[in-house]
Amino acid sequence: MGRTLSQKVWDSRVVRRAEGEPDLLYVDLHLVHEVTSPQAFDGLRLAGRRVRRPDLTLATADHNTPTVDIDKPIADAVSARQLSALEENCREFGVRCYPLGHALQGIVHVIGPQLGLTQPGMVIVCGDSHTSTHGAFGAVAFGIGTSEVEHVLATQTIAQARPGTMAVTVEGELARGVTAKDVILGVIERIGISGGTGTIVEYRGAAIRRLSMEGRMTVCNMSIEAGARAGMIAPDDVTFAYLEGRPHAPTGAAWERALDGWRSLATDEGAAFDREVRVDARQLRPYVTWGTNPAQSSTIDGVVPDPESFGDPARQETAARALRYQDLLPGTPIRDIAVDAVFIGSCTNARIEDLRAAAAVIDGRRVRDGLRALVVPGSAQVKAEAEREGLDALFRRAGFEWRAAGCSMCLGMNPDVLGPGQRCASTSNRNFEGRQGPGGRTHLVSPVVAAATAIAGHFATPEDL
């Protein structure tokens, strides 16, 4: 029987397999950030252990970093301590670190691919659930907790039970204005936030093949929002073209050898998945979440649903609770919902292509009066590239704040937060209660919908303007 893509990569990284035990997997790349690592480094110190492979480990500061005045001392002492702890730990243990202010600093899931460190067939882990992003290159990439971070630092391996397999096939062509973000929001709306639990999801089909690497990363990024361990897409010419020439990509004869191996990374004909879901791309529209979990969404043409319309009582209650928190009434057209803030950023949608798409929508128009709009590039390099193209000036002229790279308002650990009751159109990945600040209300959207919403003052598509 054939094997799926995830099984092939998984099997190739097994260091040790024993009956009744999880597989011991070799980790090709371990990404580290300030929030989930200090206790892990402490653990190493206490046990007198070292980092086994500093050359396969890379750290950056992203979650907690300010996005304004980054050349000044950090006002929040607790944040400052965590950021300096990362630098000190990296120095002590010999790990390369891109701290705040470094030209290569950025959101950990943006910098890996950008540097060419994320490659097909690898196992990649990071103390962050959106590590699934890297699966867009045909890598098995998943998030881990702090104890596991310590384990990987010490052993370069991770003990994991083999996950199940799931295929999500998106056939057909996307309509104009429907983006990768809408594909994944549409998938989550269909399979639910625990629809992928226990599995690695492989995204397949013509609509996925036609996505750029940036788009594929957006899709794989939100696999965790469907409960999956990881998301993957088989590498192809789009992948190789993206990788070629990046700082850590192989060159010359090594590139040719690598390509040979990468081309074999696809699910075999006839391999069976534990679960398969098919989505017709033509049915997808721009999505807007109305609730407090990423599956609670509607197309932009829809209305806020009546909780009674959900079959099962538990879902009715969850929906009713979400609408209370979000202060929305059933039947309200999505386009009639006004927002106080717009956030374009996060590891889901803050790559150069996302910023270009948002900028194209603005096209000389202005942000609605009284609305706060933020653009936070995914990395210092994305920021520099956007500035070379003049996007910063374009955003600023329109009334957007142009910020330095980091997670920022995606999780509200730094000073970029929503006030209680404020409503935000956000290109990030989580709309949990208080995610962007206590009492804040988040609606997940694509970069083009976010940009159009900033101008209209309520949810809108570029065509509405």
334-353 residues in contact with ligand SF4 (CB under 6 A) are: 346-347
Angle among Cα 235, 228, 55 to the nearest 5 degrees reads 55
Window contacting ligand SF4 (CB under 6 A); options: 51-59, 175-183, 336-344, 406-414: 406-414
Q: How far is the CB of 205 from other proteins (least distance, A)?
A: 25
Q: Which region, judged by CB under 8 A, interacts with other proteins, from 122-130, 213-221, 269-277, 398-406? A: 122-130
Q: For residue 114, state whether it binds ligand SF4 (rule: CB under 6 A).
A: no
Distance CA 452, CA 51 (A): 47
Shortest spacing between CB 142 and other proteins, in angstroms: 8
* Residue nearer to other proteins on the CB measure, 35 or 361: 35
Number of residues in contact with ligand SF4 under rule CB under 6 A: 13
Please say which residue, 210 or 257, places its beta carbon nearer to other proteins: 257
DSSP output for 35-96: TTSHHHHHHHHHHT---S-GGGEEEE--SS--SSSTTSPPS-HHHHHHHHHHHHHHHHHT-E
Residue linked to tokens 């040790």: 16
- Whose Cβ is closer to other proteins: residue 440's or residue 447's? 440
Helix (H) or strand (E) holding 280: strand 275-280
Among 22, 101, 245, 421, binds other proteins (CB under 8 A): 22
Quote the strand ranges of 92-182, DSSP E: 96-98, 123-126, 140-143, 157-160, 164-171
Residue 420's Cβ-side half-sphere holds a number of Cα atoms within 13 Å equal to 1
Among 220, 234, 411, 448, binds ligand SF4 (CB under 6 A): 411
Considering only 23, 34, 128, 392, the residue that binds ligand SF4 (CB under 6 A) is 128
Cα distances (Å, whole numbers) of residue 314 to 188, 289, 310: 18, 19, 9
- By a kind-dependent CB cut-off of 5 to 8 A, residue 346 interacts, out of other proteins, ligand SF4, none, with ligand SF4
**With binding defined as CB under 8 A, does residue 116 bind other proteins?**
yes
**Binding of other proteins at residue 16 (CB under 8 A)?**
yes
Tokens coding 393 = 């000036």
For residues 335 and 426, the answer to whether their CB atoms sit within 8 Å is: no
Positive or negative: CA dihedral 83, 87, 92, 95? positive
CA distance 192 to 171: 20
Inter-residue contact 349 to 319 (CB < 8 Å): no
Which of other proteins, ligand SF4, none binds 107 (CB below 5-8 Å, type-dependent)? ligand SF4
- Does residue 442 interact with ligand SF4 by CB under 6 A? no
Q: Is 101 in the site for other proteins (CB under 8 A)?
A: no
User: Is 96 a binder of other proteins (CB under 8 A)?
Assistant: yes
**Positive or negative torsion for Cα 51, 56, 61, 62:** negative
Residue 374 engages ligand SF4 in binding (rule: CB under 6 A): no
Q: Residue 443 touches which of ligand SF4, other proteins, none (CB < 5 to 8 A by kind)?
A: none
Q: Which of 133, 293, 298, 408 binds other proteins (CB under 8 A)?
A: 293
Interaction between residue 429 and ligand SF4 (CB under 6 A): yes
137 vs 203, beta carbon nearer other proteins: 137
Rule CB under 8 A: which of 176-205 touch other proteins?
193-194, 197-198
Q: Using alpha carbons, select from 15, 19, 68, 60 the residue that is nearest to residue 36.
A: 60
Residues lying near ligand SF4 in the complex (CB under 6 A) are found at 62-63, 107, 109, 128, 130, 346-347, 407, 410-411, 428-429
